[in-house]
Amino acid sequence: MAGTLYLVDLESVETRYTSQWKDYLPAQLKSADIKTVVISGNYISKKTSPGAFLNFAGTNSYKSSQSVFISNLFDKNQIKEGDYFLFTDAWNPTVIQLKYMSELLNIPVKIGGLWHAGSYDPQDFLGRIIGDKPWVRAAEHSMFNCYNHNFFATDFHVEMFANCYSDQHANELMTENDGVKIVGWPMEYLDFVLKDFKKNFKTKKNKIIFPHRLAPEKQLDIFKDLAKEMPEYEWFVAQEQKLSKYNYYENLSDSKIVFSANLQETLGISMYEGALLGVFPLVPDRLSYTEMWDDYFKYPSNWTINWESYQKNKPLLVNKIRNIMNSDIENRENIIKNLSYFTGKKFFTGTDLYNIIYESLK
């Protein structure tokens, strides 16, 4: 293999998947026979911004130090034609500076970025607080055009992005599927990480868990209202507790249902983690969930599309939850195991991602 992969990582937060990517992603790339150099930042904030999975100020300190590191690599002539830069978060302005150096110094490299969210999603922080201000839309468009490969995990996410950015160049990339690649996220390590928690596969409590961030688009108010309606069950809000990742998995593994009424979701990691542990992922038929999960796990979107619609449909959702809680556990968990296997093969393995990078480095 001629080139080197430079992995521009995302700051690690212990309670998020980012800490696992810090540990496992370089090893998985090595197993795929890809020579990898990790580019981390120098500063990580000790706390996230309220409702977010990173710190809005700290993340810029982290990314800025990555930019300095990359600039020094170019300055020292260590970057070679054919090298590949993979940004684990595509929303990283450093990619513009990288493109600047690559083209002005005439050192052609390839660049890939994993898109998680942005202003094009009206329920994301950027979309909800900043919206469609010209600066943010122009910034995202520029970053998109810097990447040779724009990686997305679901068709839903690609369609949402394409609907927002409808200029000719973006449409060509979307239509021809040249620069846009739908791949699984590199999370095959979850089978290994969760193996010690599968001891609770058969012994579940009458417990329903809310695994999401405490943000408006996650609709915690619906979950808490359901708790008042069904006090016979334990209703557990993970982020209201000070849980380590280990403690979170303990609480997830002994639950019967992992619940979502999300208005934003481009993948849904916690639902898959729950399924691997024999926990029923109860999700609305919208967003990325529609393509990822069988109808067995979904309820009609209008049941929780907003508070008013929820109130009208509450009896239907209450009845569905009670039926799941009282269902035949062994049969239900066999179905979960089978479906989570196929979901995992498509959405939670990095094989396609690694193959694209490997071929690019030849």
What is the CATH number for 40? 3.40.50.2000
Is the domain of 13 the same as that of 90? yes
Tens-digit pLDDT string for the chain (362 aa): 579 999 999 988 877 888 899 999 999 999 999 999 999 998 666 566 555 556 778 888 899 999 999 999 999 999 999 999 999 999 999 999 999 999 999 999 999 999 999 999 998 889 989 999 999 999 999 999 999 999 999 999 999 998 887 655 555 555 444 689 999 999 999 989 998 898 766 678 999 999 999 999 999 999 999 999 999 999 999 999 989 999 999 999 999 999 999 999 999 999 999 988 889 999 999 999 999 998 889 999 999 999 999 999 999 999 999 999 998 766 666 667 666 778 888 999 999 999 999 999 98
Is the domain of 148 the same as that of 258? no
Is the domain of 239 the same as that of 162? no
Count CB-CB contacts under 10 A for residue 244: 10
Q: What is the pLDDT of residue 289?
A: 96
Is the domain of 219 the same as that of 229? yes
Spatial distance between the Cα atoms of 307 and 180, rounded to a whole number of angstroms: 35
Is the domain of 287 the same as that of 206? yes
Residue 339: closest CA among 285, 272, 288: 272
Is the domain of 335 the same as that of 354? no
Is the domain of 342 the same as that of 242? yes
Q: For 31-54, b where at least 16 C-beta lie within 10 A, e where not — what string?
A: ebebebeebbbeebbeebeeeebb
DSSP result, 6-32: EEE-----TTSHHHHHHHHHHHHHHHT
Is the domain of 146 the same as that of 269? no
Is the domain of 139 the same as that of 46? yes
Domain count, the chain: 2
Spatial distance between the Cα atoms of 121 and 36, rounded to a whole number of angstroms: 32
Quick check: helix, strand or coil at residue 89?
coil
Is the domain of 24 the same as that of 97? yes
Chain-centroid distance, C-alpha 17:
8
78: left (phi over 0), alpha (psi -120 to 50) or beta: alpha
How much is the pTM?
A: 0.91
Beta bridge partners, 39, equal 8
Spatial distance between the Cα atoms of 205 and 256, rounded to a whole number of angstroms: 7
Residue 292, domain extent: 190-346
Spatial distance between the Cα atoms of 106 and 29, rounded to a whole number of angstroms: 27
Strands 298-299 and 180-182: unpaired
49: left (phi over 0), alpha (psi -120 to 50) or beta: beta
CA dihedral for 97, 101, 104, 108, sign (positive or negative)? negative
Is the domain of 179 the same as that of 292? no
Count CB-CB contacts under 10 A for residue 328: 8
Is the domain of 197 the same as that of 165? no
